Every structure is written in C-alpha cells, then in structure tokens.
Amino acid sequence: MDVKKQCAEEALTYIENGMTVGLGGGSTIKHLVTFLKDSGRSVKVVTPSWETKQHCVSEGLQVLPLSDVPSIDIAFDGCDQVDQQLHALKSGGGIHTEEKLVAYMADEYVLLVDESKFVPALTFEHPVVVEVLPQALPYVRRKLESFPVLQANIRMSEDKDGAVITENGNLLLDVYVDPDKADSGLEGRLKGLTGVIDTSLFTSVVTKALVAGPSGIREITIKGEN
Ligand code: 5RP
C-alpha cells in the first residue's frame, strides 16, 4: 500500500462515531474519505476544499457548511511542509484562511504527510501565502518591505487572465521569506497588518503530525515522537 494510503488508514483510527470531522484538501485526505466511507462510521464532515467536498458527497458522507458548526472534534489536513516544532506551511491550495479556521475550531488538528515533507525546521522554499483584501494590496506590499521578504508576487490564474480570487473575494500574495531571518513571530506580525486576512503559515495550531514512510507511521507531537 502506498504511504499516503497508510497514513490515511492510520488517521481513520482517530475517528469515532458521532464526531464532527474537519477534512482539508489533497490526495491523502482523499484516501481518508474513502476509508471513512468504507468503515461505515457515522460522522459529519466540514471541509474548506471544493474537491474534498465533491469526493465526500460522491461517497455519501454527510457534509455540513462550516457556518453551521460551532466546534469540530478532530480535523485532518495535508501540508506542503511541517517541522519538528509542528510549524507548517499550507501554501499550495490557496484556501488556508478557512483551513486555519477549521484548525482552530478543532479539538485536535492533525497533519498527514509523507516523510519528504517532514523537516527539522521549515526551509521556506514554499512561499508564505498572504490573503489580502484587494483594497489593501498596495498598503500591504509597502509594509512587507520592512519584513525579511525576498519577493512578494500576486498569485496569477493559470486558466484565465488576471489574478486568483479567493472564495472570500480576496487576492493572494506569494511571499518568499528569507529563511535565515524568519523567526517565530512572523505569522503574528503578518496577520497584524491591516488588510491581511490570514496566512498559510501555521505555527501554533497543529497538535500532531502523522508521518508516513517505508518503515511505518510516526506520530509526532510537540513533546516529541511517540
Ligand atoms: C496545499 C496543502 C495540501 O493539503 C497538501 O499539498 C496535500 O498534500 P497531499 O496531496 O500530499 O496529501 O496544504 O497547501
């Protein structure tokens, strides 16, 4: 079985009947949806991902709008990179604002990754994606000049002329951070800029990572490896 499937199978063991479960995006989560359906467990799902929602619906899982749910028992997600401090970057999907909301609403927020994504410390080869209110774009770009930023590019659409517009009607800035100067306060300082909705840097919400490799699954918590 491929490692992503193994990771998803392990994640299923954390899910109990009656739970409200958050599911993010990506291929590992897609495997988890299939395992969840095959298990026959009765759960309610919330998801910020259009693709995950379609897959849940086609598998017959009950999906609720996030706006109808006050709390979440456990949430699972993929990421681009996660480190030993459980700091993570979730930059590819462009849906990090709602993914972070799901993460904070959940009693447990668990990342599912293969070994290639687990590093001692974030390398910042992926950008920190900043969702910005369109009217605030010039202001936010000017403020970013005082950050350890190498480049900040508006994310452009590959399928139409113009910028990517988020589900919330905002723009995305792909902010490439100088890895030698990134510090633990970066997420908070970026979020503190007026006009910034949220960023793809998750430094204080991940409670666990399940890291899958050829020798099995490692469970990483903030206290270390179990
Ligand atoms: C994008 C993400 C996705 O969740 C992640 O890329 C999914 O990875 P995989 O397909 O390996 O499960 O965070 O920013």
**Which 8-state DSSP code applies to residue 117?**
G
Q: How far apart are CA 5 and CA 195, in angstroms?
A: 39
pLDDT of residue 45: 98
- How much is the pLDDT for 77? 98
- Would you state the pLDDT for residue 1? 73
Strand pairing report for 81-83 and 118-119? parallel
| pLDDT computed for residue 223 by the predictor | 73
Query: Of these residues, 10, 16, 51, 99, which one is catalytic?
Result: 99
Between helices 3-12 and 27-39, what is the axis angle to 10°? 50
Indicate if the pLDDT at residue 222 is higher than 90: no
Distance CA 117, CA 7 (A): 13
Environment class of residue 127 by beta-carbon count within 10 Å: exposed (0-12), middle (13-18) or buried (19+)? buried
- The answer to whether 195 touches 177, Cβ cutoff 8 Å, is no
What local confidence, expressed as pLDDT, does residue 157 receive?
97
Mean pLDDT, to the nearest integer, of 28-56? 98
Q: Which atom of ligand 1 is nearest to the CA of 24?
A: 4
pLDDT at 226: 62
Bridge-based pairing of strands 62-63 and 44-46 is parallel
Split at pLDDT 50, 70, 90, the class of 225 is: low
Model confidence over 65-76: pLDDT tens digits?
999 999 999 999
What is the mean predicted confidence (pLDDT) over 95-110?
98
pLDDT of residue 224: 63
CA separation for the pair 208, 37 (Å, rounded): 23
Q: Which helix (H) or strand (E) holds 74?
A: strand 72-77
**Any ligand 1 atom below 6 A from CB of 24:** yes
pLDDT in tens, 114-138: 999 999 999 999 999 999 999 999 9
Percent of the chain with pLDDT over 70: 99
Pocket lining: 94 vs ligand 1, CB cutoff 6 Å: no
- Spacing, Cα 133 to ligand 1 middle (Å): 24
Half-sphere exposure (Cβ direction) of 203: Cα atoms closer than 13 Å = 16
75 near 23, Cβ under 8 Å?
A: yes
Mean per-residue pLDDT, 165-193: 96
Ligand 1 neighbour 127 (Cβ under 6 A): no
Our answer on whether the CB atom of 99 is closer than 6 Å to any ligand 1 atom is no
**Per-residue CA distances from 113 to 1, 15, 87, 117, 142 (Å):** 15, 18, 13, 6, 35
Mutate to test the pocket of ligand 1, among 3, 5, 28, 126 (most ligand atoms within 8 A of CB): 28
Residue 187 among the catalytic residues? no
